[in-house]
Amino acid sequence: MSMEWQGKVAVVTGAGGTLCSVIAAFLAEKGMKVVLIGRTKEKLEKTAAVIQSKGGVCRIECADVNDVAALTDIANRVAAEWGPCRILVNGAGGNNINAMTTNTAYNPVEITSDKPEDMRGFFDLDMDVFANVLKTNTVGTVIPCQIFGKQMVVAGGGSILNFASMNTYRPLSRVSAYAMSKAAIANFTQWLAAYLAPANIRVNAVAPGFFVNERSIKYLRTPDGGLSQRGENVMQHTPMKRFGEAPDLLGCVEWLLDDEKAAFVTGITVPVDGGFLSSTGI
């Protein structure tokens, strides 16, 4: 990353997560002052401990990315004490098991009176839960872009990195709400890139392949550490024959955020997936 980012402010939402905790630490190692935003203080404290152990500068700010008032307050305080945000990484998001079907395709049993209690088909999905997944992953990206993006405009430029997914390209089975939301992220990234180009703000996205975290490990691995059926299916479509690890994202993230190396790059979504999108598994 170019030296011009030394001492500048980076905001990372979802900074307590498996991927964004590593990204936040990476930005701090590069000399940036990193604002760690998330809902769970304990997770943010772990990220902060890693950063501080290496001499980095960070601060913990607990908030929900859908809370306009809370994020506005954070932005104002950070600007007053550290200066304007110049890098924004929108890593907050997630899924909800109750917004997922238990079956991968329609089963006539799901609309009968003797449907198994543990079966949840498309027609059983709770629309409040479904809508909340959409809101967290879409509006929860838009709001930080508004609030911290405005600081970038005033400061004369910056870079925004959104988080897409393999679902951006192919809707994976069972996760209709999550897939819909991640498809929207790529579209919004393009729209915002075009809109903010006159303000010297670049907007891009990264689309991680299958990285094991607290949520996905339940579906990709068995309790003994082996592969679940879903995990085996993923491997059949992944030429590199492994799951991603957080450091695998850093080269792409650094490039997309660097105003020198990626000076003419905006509005793109880059897959980091071990070849998943390139393979049919046949």
Residues marked active site are found at: 178
Query: What does the buried/exposed string (b/e) look like for 28-62 if buried means 16 or more CB atoms within 10 Å of the residue's CB?
Result: bbbebbbbbbbeeeebbeebbebbeeeebebbbbe
Say how many C-beta atoms besides its own lie within 10 A of residue 189's C-beta.
27
Nearest to 208 by CA among 262, 159, 171, 246: 246
Say how many C-beta atoms besides its own lie within 10 A of residue 150's C-beta.
15
Instruction: Look at strands 33-38 and 269-272 and give their pairing.
Output: unpaired
Encoded tokens for 86: 């110049």
Where does 119-229 show beta strands of DSSP type E? 158-163, 201-208
